[in-house]
Amino acid sequence: MSRSDPTWLGRYQRAMCDQAGNGQRFIEDITAKRREARRDPVNGKAPDVLHLETMRDLNIATTDAPSMEPMQLSPFEALFLNTLECLEVRDSDHHIYSHTELWQLLAVSSKQADEFALKYAAYFYYRTRGWTVKSGIKFGADFLLYSKGGPSNSHAQYSVIVRRQDTRGTVDESWQYMFALSRVCSQVRKALIVCYVDRPTAKNAGGIRKNEEATVPDLTEFQISEFLIERFNPNRK
């Protein structure tokens, strides 16, 4: 599942010497050049590999720039970077969103402000512990956890699904779903983590009331419980 627009048609036309696809460059070209540079026995890790992304090195015309893969951030990534003051978000009128305004925009647009807060609490929890956190939608999970270096250096080690703490001990998912998710994780060599998030309520001090779901919560009041799920293999010694 690519994060950018499909390029297979243009690459197929170029391979078939079709004039419509002739001369175009795609993100796959960058990937091929990176791999070629890494296999170079002389340069080893190829210190200039990052420069291969420049349009000059790929001889990409300005008109071909839209075919390049744009950087896309998930709502959780945007909020986290905005919290660290590493990201500034503007609208079409160049209005700069404050952190509270950005939270309200993303939480309300998710149509499930309460679930959004739970998942962001889990995202924040793993990011502050050194994990690189990406979307796990490809594998039916909420998040994927990568060790230091991120997706460019290794595959994800864990798939994470986020659930409310008050559903712990209840059958909120069918056994068929959990077996299927566990099987998918094992096939792609990932461990499955069920992350239970206890969201503060009006009963515990400093909680968030129902009519305040679009306000920025105090993440220090969330409690996280993790369970590692593994498939039982009777043949394994």
Catalytic residues: 146, 155, 190
Give yes or no for a contact between 168 and 196, defined as CB atoms under 8 angstroms apart. Answer: yes
DSSP for residue 64: G
Tell me how far apart the alpha carbons of residues 97 and 103 are, in angstroms, rounded to a whole number. Answer: 9
Compute how many other C-beta atoms are within 10 angstroms of the C-beta atom of residue 134: 17
Which regions of the chain does DSSP assign to beta strands (E)? Answer: 132-135, 143-146, 158-164, 191-198, 223-229
DSSP for residue 47: G
Across the strands, what pairs with 90? Answer: 96
**Type of residue numbered 16:** M
